[in-house]
Chain A
Amino acid sequence: MVTEAVIWAIFLLPLGSFAFAALVVRPFFNRFSLISGLVTIAALGTALGFSIWTLRSVILGHELVFEPIEWLEVGGATIDFGLLIDPLTAVMLIVVTGVSLLVQIYSLGYMKGDPSFSRYYAYMSLFTAAMLGLVLASNIIQLYMFWELVGVSSYLLIGFWHERPTAAAAAKKAFIITRIGDVGFLIAILYLFTQADNFAAVGLNAFHIPDIWEAAQPEAAAGAILGGAVLTWLALGIFAGAAGKSGQFPLHTWLPDAMEGPTPVSALIHAATMVAAGVFLVARFFPVFEHSPDAMTVVALVGAFTAVFAASMGLVMNDIKRVMAYSTVSQLGYMMAALGLGLYAPAIFHLVTHAAFKALLFLGAGSVNHATGTFDMRYMGGLRKVMPITYILVVVAGLSLVGIIPLAGFWSKDEILLGAWTGTGLVDTWVSRVTFSALLAGVIVTAFYTIRMIILTFHGEFRGGIVRELEEKAQTVPARESHHGGVHLAESPWVMVLPMVALGVTAVLLGYLANPQWTEEIGIPRHWIIGFLGDGLSAALGASGHAETLDFSRWMATISTVAALSGIGLAVLIYLRRRDQRADPLSKVKPVHTLLSEKYYMDTLYEDVMVRKGFFKYFAGILDWTDANLVDGIVDRIGWFFQNIGSAIGKLQSGHVQGYATGIAFGVLAIILALLLA
């Protein structure tokens, strides 16, 4: 059985390597910056080991409830600092430490020679530590603290090359937009704070997460505390925070811009840490959500809309990382939609498989960039011959993303689609039907952009890489990743390839955790992960019946495969056989292409209309006017008054004795009059 100290170590090890890299290596041994990388990898490797130990303990059903440490006591509400270990936490621990470890190893090669190597590893450790703290938190305040810490570290990493204005702007954008969502989360927490006394009356702690679950149960003794409209608003507040972090419409615009960070950072953000935090948050508060059909409907529809909306923008992007970014937004939409429909375990399972294949795709993009120096797919092509391993791995990850049997993505997506079709009874039937249609349409679009990306990058003739791009754009400084420079077409070093291989194997095998039929013979029970996660949820609530698992349905698998294959076929038809390799065939449908390339004018709407016109011009204009006229006006008038009254009174002091005497005489007269009249 795993001990409390070991679980704390999972979080403290990356934190320690952050402290070591930032406080010891960077100031004193920056010449040997490789140390910080190795220390980080060692710390994460140990943390992964401990995470596996924890997962094993959870699977064996050990009692893993630890007494929290009392942190603060504010007005009758106690804020604890503790560990919450359930199947969700255990699975997330593996995902975070596993993906992070592989990304760190990959970074040894990718970031080689960067002058800020130590800073990079310090931030990466902090990022991982923050995410682990978030996953382990048993208290909503504790969770919020790490939630914001994840935000800060992503800000630092997106803006890692802060000397580039675009990177600095992207970091700011990510930070501000996620903060908009966090306001909702904060309001939800503050509401819980106001209810602290009601919680205490029935022996619960308003910030302790299992107690919040308890309070949301309508049949529980404390059910009256959170219920009805309050519950819906509370859930929507939490969802607002999750939507910001997970890039759900309409707060998705920061995610594609976050590509300005180093590519391994993107892999980490998109797979395991930042964006997974939003889905994790909704999953963590799933017992609250499931009692509010309205909130569930919102989550499902926002997720479904995002899934299609983001995928459609992925169709036309020229930047390989942007295609993947929109793909992430879209896949997060799948997870949110699944959670909204009540498909708790499939959503988490999709999060896990997505972490594997999306991390692999990003690492593949980094590997391609390592060879060509650019991210623009218009200047790639033909890399299949020079980078065969990267090619195979990207194809595996891509097909997994599309959902081709028997890769991991197929199983998780299939569970979601099947669940959406069957419905769970938590939301109205039309919601699950709409969601199902959107998700199915998303499969076709996903297949199309994935194959388009693979063909543009790896097939056809090589189109010149960064050298050509610079010539055409007549720029003196490369737009991004300038330190790589130059085209050297070759497979990436083994330190980059090995983590990719590991992820590739995972992306193939992970699906067998949910494998429907034939794994029982090798000792894995059917729907193992679905049952595991679902049972964890039921156990936490002391109820049962959540862990319903749907049987694999051949015709549903057929439908999704047909959808995926039609998308693939279309992409192959259009892109593989095109004559002019320089032009994008999609741009022939001009209006649609423009609309999609301009991201539905969402960025324009936010930046030009809302920020520049709305905020800068009108809102700030009114404030400026108020400041200049009202605030400054009052101050100026007060100053004017005293200045003038001073000189006015000063004139009275003339030095004329008779003047003073007159004043005295009339003063005495006034006093006498006053006394007489009084």
Chain B
Amino acid sequence: MSFEAFMIVAAILFCIGLYGSLARRNVLAVLMSIELMFNAVNVTLVAMAKYLAPAALQDDISSVLTGQVFAVFIITVAAAEIALGLGIVFAMYRTHDSVDLSEATGLRH
């Protein structure tokens, strides 16, 4: 498996996520798409840590694991964030009776 393959997968994943978050109207679907973009980023972090970490540091494995550690942190933070996001979705459903993003234009005012 080459580094480029990881990058391409990550890019495809990110684009799908970006498309979904911009194009879908359902808030839940948008949240899911955002998760996809998170994971695309995680993939690149892990892949870069594996392939691009400086050779000089190969001996000290702990310093090579920076990318993987970041990925774990992101997953953790993303879980917290999705919990917050779902809270907002509930609040929106209560005020608008819908989870359609095109109806949420309150930022304009």
Q: Which residues of A contact B (CB under 8 A)?
A: 653-658, 660-662, 665
B23 — which chain A residues lie within 8 A by C-beta? 658
Q: Min CB distance, B104 to chain A, in Å? A: 7
3 cross-chain pairs, A with B, having the tightest CB-CB distances, nearest first: A655-B105, A655-B108, A655-B107
Contact of A661 among B21, B106, B108 (CB under 8 A): B21
| B105-A656 in contact (CB<8A) | yes
Are the CB atoms of B108 and A657 closer together than 8 Å? no
Task: Please report the C-alpha to C-alpha distance between residue A657 and residue B34 in the assembled complex, in whole angstroms.
Answer: 14
B94: chain A residues at CB < 8 Å are: none
Partner of A656, one of B18, B102, B109: B102
A656→B106 contact, CB < 8 A? no
> Most A CB atoms within 10 A — which of B23, B106, B107?
B107
Contact with A along B63-107 (1 / 0, CB 8 A): 000000000000000000000000000000000000001101111
Partner of A655, one of B21, B22, B30, B106: B106
Chain A contacts of B104 at CB under 8 A? 655-657
Supply 16 A–B pairs (Cβ within 8 Å), ascending by A: A654-B105, A654-B108, A655-B105, A655-B106, A655-B107, A655-B108, A656-B101, A657-B101, A657-B104, A658-B23, A658-B30, A658-B101, A658-B102, A661-B21, A661-B22, A662-B22
Main secondary structure of the interface of B (DSSP, over half): helix
10 more CB-based (< 8 A) A-B contacts, given A658-B102, A661-B21: A654-B108, A655-B104, A655-B105, A655-B107, A655-B109, A656-B101, A658-B30, A658-B101, A665-B18, A665-B22
Residues of B within 8 A of A662 (CB): 22
- Interface residues of B, Cβ cutoff 8 Å to A: 18, 21-23, 30, 101-102, 104-109
Name A653's closest neighbour in chain B (CB-CB): B108
Enumerate chain A residues within 8 angstroms of B108, measured Cβ to Cβ: 653-655
For A661, what are the chain B residues with a Cβ–Cβ distance below 8 Å?
Answer: 21-22
Question: CB-CB < 8 A to A654: which residues of B?
Answer: 105, 108
A656 to B107, alpha carbons, bound, how many Å? 8
Q: How far is the CA of A656 from the CA of B102 in the complex (A)?
A: 6
Determine how close the nearest CB of chain B comes to the CB of A646; give it in whole angstroms.
16
B106 to chain A: which residues have CB within 8 Å?
A: 655
Q: How far is the CA of A653 from the CA of B108 in the complex (A)?
A: 6
Among residues of A, the one whose C-beta sits closest to the C-beta of B18 is A665
Taken together as a complex, chains A and B put the C-alpha atoms of A665 and B101 apart, in Å, by 18
Pairwise interchain contact B22-A658, C-beta atoms closer than 8 A: yes
In whole Å, how far is B22's beta carbon from the nearest beta carbon of chain A?
Answer: 5
Across the interface, which residues of A come within 8 angstroms of B101, CB to CB?
A: 656-658
List, in ascending order, chain A residues with CB within 8 A of B30's CB: 658
* B33 CB → nearest A CB, Å: 11
Complex: A662 Cα to B20 Cα, angstroms: 11
A654 CA to B108 CA, complexed, in Å: 6
Distance of A665 Cα from B22 Cα, bound (Å): 9
Write out the residue numbers on chain B whose beta carbons fall within 8 Å of the beta carbon of A658.
21-23, 30, 101-102
A444 to chain B, nearest CB (A): 95
Chain A nearest CB, measured from B27 CB (Å): 10
In the assembled complex, the Cα of A658 lies from the Cα of B104 at a distance in Å of: 10
* CB proximity of A263 to chain B, nearest CB, Å: 81
The residue of chain B having its C-beta at the shortest distance from the C-beta of A663 within the complex is: B22
Q: Within the assembled complex, what's the spacing in Å between the Cα atoms of A656 and B105?
A: 5
Q: Which one of A654, A657, A665 has the highest number of Cβ atoms from chain B below 10 Å of its Cβ?
A: A657
By beta carbon, the residue of chain B nearest A664 is: B22
Most buried by A among B21, B22, B30, B105: B22
Query: Which residues of A have CB within 8 Å of B22?
Result: 658, 661-662, 665
- Which residue of chain B has its CB nearest to the CB of A662? B22
Least CB distance, B16 to chain A, in whole angstroms: 13
Instruction: List chain A residues, Cβ under 8 A from B102.
Output: 656, 658
What is the CA–CA distance of A654 and B104 in the complex, to the nearest angstrom?
10
Report Cα–Cα, A248/B13, bound state, in Å: 97
| Pairwise interchain contact A657-B107, C-beta atoms closer than 8 A | yes
Bound-complex Cα distance A34 to B37 (A): 104
| Cβ of B101 to closest chain A Cβ, rounded Å | 6
In the assembled complex, which residues on chain B have CB atoms less than 8 Å from the CB atom of A660? 107
Chain B contacts for A653, CB-based, 8 A: 108
Q: What is the chain B residue whose CB lies nearest that of A661?
A: B22
Bound CA–CA A661/B30 (angstroms): 12
Give chain A nearest CB distance to B26 CB in angstroms.
11
- Which residues of A are found within 8 Å of B109, using beta-carbon distances? 655
A654 to B18 Cα, complex, angstroms? 20
**Chain A residue nearest in CB terms to B108:** A655
- In the complex, residue of chain A having the shortest beta-carbon distance to the beta carbon of B23: A658
User: How many angstroms from the CA of A662 to the CA of B107 in the assembled complex?
Assistant: 15
**Which residues of B sit under 8 angstroms from A655, Cβ to Cβ?**
104-109
Kindly state the separation between the CA atoms of A662 and B106 in the bound complex, as whole angstroms.
18
Q: Give complex CA distance A654, B102 in Å.
A: 10
Within the assembled complex, what's the spacing in Å between the Cα atoms of A655 and B101?
Answer: 10
Q: Which A residue's beta carbon lies closest to that of B101?
A: A658
CA of A660 to CA of B109 in the docked complex: distance in angstroms? 15
Contacts of B107 in A (CB 8 A): 655, 657, 660
How many whole Å from B21's CB to the nearest CB in chain A? 7
Closest to B30 in A: A658
Per the bound structure, the CA–CA distance linking A662 and B21 in Å amounts to 9
Least distance between B54 CB and chain A CB atoms (Å): 25
Report B12 CB to chain A, min CB distance, Å. 16
Bound Cα distance A654, B23 (Å): 16
Q: How far is the CA of A658 from the CA of B25 in the complex (A)?
A: 9
Q: Which of A654, A655, A665 has the most CB of B within 10 A?
A: A655
Q: Taking the nearest CB of chain A, how far is it from the CB of B57, in angstroms?
A: 29
Shortest distance from the beta carbon of A666 to any chain B beta carbon, whole Å: 10
In the complex, what distance in Å separates the CA atom of A661 from the CA atom of B18? 9
Give Cα A665 to B23, complex, Å.
Answer: 12
